[in-house]
């Protein structure tokens, strides 16, 4: 497994944990860190031994407290567009990964950190976590997909309020709004994420990947989500896992899926 300057990677029992390791900077996303997240996600795509992913931040204070303001302050209109598009591409890799990705939010998830968490398929937060898109305080807007994903997760009105006021919300409020799946004590964060992933990893891998693809199609204006679902249903019915799953059900035994 490759080595990184700003990430720590650990794989155990098929679960890859990606830790953004810039605790002294509240795990802020600089350009190099975003580039490394892309490389780490490419490993997820390429390595069949990786079945699920947890993304988290180092230390107890922050998941990711935003982007690197020193870098942002130097942006011009031209390179700012490239800056945003590069980040959007990396977060799209996470969103469209055919293996489950959970954000383990262990503190502040602000700006790019909130956007990173939203790109993951699910979010588990500690009781002390805080979420927000405070870019307007810098004369900016979210640039890594926040204006698109936040309304889909919590609704247009509340998303506009959060992005226009820059206010943070608590983990409990985030859960009530649908931004977070679970709120747990800090010491339960990783065991909760691992339990969810282990349950998913016991299901048919092809079906799991196609669930992700179909759900993403809901939000793709150029794609007919119902047709994507029908096509994906047909693909499942042509798979060995479908035969195994139905036979196991009829024979009252646990299926042994192979992802084929």
Rounded to 10 degrees, the C-alpha dihedral 226/232/235/239 comes to -140
3-state secondary structure of 100: coil
Which of 96, 156, 166, 87 is closest to 131 using CA atoms? Answer: 166
Beta strand spans in 88-232 (E): 101-105, 108-110, 122-126, 130-132, 169-170, 182-184
Which of 95, 115, 194, 213 is catalytic? The answer is: 115
Neighbours of 207 (CB within 10 A): 19
Q: Roughly how many angstroms between the first and final C-alpha of the chain, as a whole number?
A: 25
Is position 115 annotated as part of the catalytic site? yes
Is position 135 annotated as part of the catalytic site? yes
CA distance 180 to 161: 18
Which of 5, 71, 77, 135 is catalytic? The answer is: 135
Active site residue ranges: 115, 135
């Amino acid at each position: 497994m490759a080595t990184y300057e700003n990430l720590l990677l650990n794989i155990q029992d098929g679960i890859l944990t990606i830790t953004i390791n810039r605790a002294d900077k509240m795990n802020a996303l600089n350009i190099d860190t975003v580039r490394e997240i892309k490389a780490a996600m490419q490993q997820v795509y390429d390595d069949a031994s990786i079945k699920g992913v947890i993304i988290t931040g180092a230390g107890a204070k922050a998941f990711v407290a935003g982007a690197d303001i020193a870098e942002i302050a130097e942006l011009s209109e031209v390179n700012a567009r490239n800056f945003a598009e590069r980040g959007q591409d990396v977060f799209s890799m996470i969103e469209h990964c055919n293996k489950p990705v959970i954000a383990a939010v262990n503190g502040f998830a602000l700006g790019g950190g909130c956007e990173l968490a939203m790109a993951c398929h699910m979010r588990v937060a500690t009781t002390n976590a805080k979420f927000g898109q405070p870019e307007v305080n810098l004369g900016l807007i979210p640039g890594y997909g926040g204006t698109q994903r936040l309304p889909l997760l919590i609704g247009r009105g509340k998303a506009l309020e959060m992005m226009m006021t820059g206010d943070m919300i608590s983990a409990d409020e985030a859960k009530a709004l649908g931004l977070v799946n679970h709120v747990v004590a800090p010491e339960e964060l990783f065991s909760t994420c691992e339990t969810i992933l282990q349950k998913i990893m016991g299901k048919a891998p092809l079906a799991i990947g196609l669930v992700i693809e179909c759900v993403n199609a809901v939000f793709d204006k150029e794609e007919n989500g119902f047709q994507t679902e029908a096509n994906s249903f047909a693909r499942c019915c042509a798979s060995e896992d479908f035969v195994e799953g139905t036979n196991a059900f009829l024979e009252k035994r646990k299926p042994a899926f192979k992802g084929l």
